């Protein structure tokens, strides 16, 4: 219950942020990238629930961005038609990638997703006649207005604020869906897949099917984030979808904390505003991410979302503080001989 309240508050805070800065265009672009990063981080989090770590989400993020942009620019499609078509296509790609890799051990999955993302990135450069090559694609238009009848009942996405709220709505919907995915009886099955794959299998749970469905759902979420990135930035190029994007996506989830659905949102907010606040150049940004990842791994297990309870409950036992984190369960399992 507490986590649901926390998640709702996170979204409320994100919704009032533009009012606090007086709808300043600069800060609105920062918040837009924050919300897209949070969406990407959330898709990483849902995979952590079943105990898988991917280094390939830049591929799905990039395919979402390229797919929607190409359909809009080359075929003249409406954004709202192109988006579902691209998401369905990417779901099929995710099935094809997940099918052989999820059967093997976790390490094979990490390495294969990593290799897949790199090959996809090379593909953008190779098939330049289609994708614009290393120069990328320019002039991707904003999402088409939603016309429900009359001027009063239509929503246009021409302003920074309206675009931000569109992305925030996507983030809220995806987070809510993932939250319910994890916190229903199905979620208990997913946890068993993470904690005791052998036992779950023995109880008749189809571990592989649950892994595959979660992977596909997560990949489609990443593709949605990519499509929204393309229409909000208006420009994409292959290097935006390299290994650094996959690492950043991990960083949002891990630094924020994988114990709760609001973790990736907090992590994305922290890293995005930290880079802006410190005026870190694009060259130096990986240094910040790297240091934050190592700090989170050693000093702040459970991520930033555990910080308030850590500060409040120094007297409480360590087990209480880390009880919610899936990793804590994982650790207990490993501790047994």
Closest to 32 (Cα-Cα) out of 169, 232, 191, 170? 232
Which residues contribute to the site for other proteins (CB under 8 A)? 51-53, 99-101, 103-112, 114-116, 118-119, 122-123, 125-126, 197-198, 243-244, 247, 250, 254, 283-284, 286-287, 289-294, 296-298, 327, 331, 334
Phi, psi dihedrals of residue 206, rounded to the nearest 5°: -80, 90
Q: Is the dihedral of CA 102, 66, 36, 58 positive or negative?
A: positive
Q: Smallest distance from the beta carbon of 293 to other proteins, in angstroms?
A: 4
Q: Which is nearer to other proteins, 32 or 131 (CB)?
A: 131
Q: How far apart are CA 65 and CA 78, in angstroms?
A: 15
Q: Which is nearer to other proteins, 106 or 141 (CB)?
A: 106
Phi, psi dihedrals of residue 234, rounded to the nearest 5°: 80, 0
Q: Smallest distance from the beta carbon of 300 to other proteins, in angstroms?
A: 12
Q: Smallest distance from the beta carbon of 269 to other proteins, in angstroms?
A: 20
Q: Which is nearer to other proteins, 145 or 197 (CB)?
A: 197
Q: How far apart are CA 227 and CA 203, in angstroms?
A: 40
Q: Smallest distance from the beta carbon of 171 to other proteins, in angstroms?
A: 24
Q: Smallest distance from the beta carbon of 82 to other proteins, in angstroms?
A: 26
Q: Which is nearer to other proteins, 126 or 318 (CB)?
A: 126
Q: How far apart are CA 174 and CA 45, in angstroms?
A: 12
Q: Smallest distance from the beta carbon of 298 to other proteins, in angstroms?
A: 7
Q: How far apart are CA 48 and CA 41, in angstroms?
A: 11
Q: Smallest distance from the beta carbon of 137 to other proteins, in angstroms?
A: 19
Chain centroid to CA 152: how far? 34
Q: Which is nearer to other proteins, 177 or 280 (CB)?
A: 280
Q: Smallest distance from the beta carbon of 44 to other proteins, in angstroms?
A: 12
Show Cβ contacts of residue 81 under 8 Å, excluding neighbours closer than 6 positions.
Answer: none
Q: Which is nearer to other proteins, 282 or 319 (CB)?
A: 282
Burial tier of 195 (Cβ tally within 10 Å: 0-12, 13-18, 19+): middle
Q: What is the DSSP string of 116-183?
A: HHHHHHHHHHHTHHHH-GGG-B--PPPPPPEESSTTTTEE---SHHHHHHHHHHHHHHHHHHHHHHHS
Q: Which is nearer to other proteins, 60 or 79 (CB)?
A: 60
Q: How far apart are CA 284 and CA 317, in angstroms?
A: 38
Q: Which is nearer to other proteins, 101 or 232 (CB)?
A: 101
Beta bridge mates, 147? 154
């Amino acid at each position: 219950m507490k986590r649901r309240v926390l998640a709702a508050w996170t979204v409320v805070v994100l919704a009032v942020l533009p009012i606090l800065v007086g709808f300043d265009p600069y800060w609105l672009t920062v918040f837009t990238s924050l919300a897209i990063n949070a969406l990407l981080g959330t898709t990483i989090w849902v995979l952590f629930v079943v105990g898988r770590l991917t280094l390939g989400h830049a591929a799905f993020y990039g395919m979402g961005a390229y797919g929607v942009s190409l359909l809009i620019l080359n075929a003249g499609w409406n954004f709202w038609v192109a988006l579902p078509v691209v998401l369905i296509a990417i779901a099929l790609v995710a099935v094809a990638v997940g099918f052989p890799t999820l059967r093997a051990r976790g390490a094979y999955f990490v390495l294969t997703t990593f290799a897949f993302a790199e090959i996809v990135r090379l593909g953008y450069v190779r098939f330049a006649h289609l994708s614009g090559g290393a120069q990328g694609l320019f002039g991707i238009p904003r999402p088409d207005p939603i016309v429900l009848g009359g001027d009063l009942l239509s929503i246009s996405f021409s302003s920074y604020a309206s675009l931000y709220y569109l992305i925030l709505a996507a983030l809220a919907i995806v987070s809510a869906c993932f939250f319910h995915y994890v916190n229903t009886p199905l979620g208990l099955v997913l946890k068993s897949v993470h904690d005791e794959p052998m036992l779950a299998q023995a109880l008749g749970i189809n571990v592989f099917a649950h892994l595959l469905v979660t992977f596909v759902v997560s990949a489609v979420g990443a593709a949605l984030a990519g499509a929204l990135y393309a229409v909000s930035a208006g420009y994409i190029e292959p290097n935006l979808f390299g290994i650094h994007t996959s690492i950043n996506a991990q960083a949002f989830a891990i630094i924020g904390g994988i114990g709760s659905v609001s973790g990736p949102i907090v992590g994305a907010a922290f890293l995005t505003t930290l880079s802006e606040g410190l005026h870190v150049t694009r060259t130096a940004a990986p240094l910040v991410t790297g240091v934050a990842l190592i700090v989170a791994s050693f000093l702040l297990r459970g991520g930033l979302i555990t910080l308030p309870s850590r500060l409040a409950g120094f007297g409480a036992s360590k087990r209480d503080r880390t009880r919610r984190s899936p990793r804590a369960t994982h650790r207990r399992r490993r501790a047994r001989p």
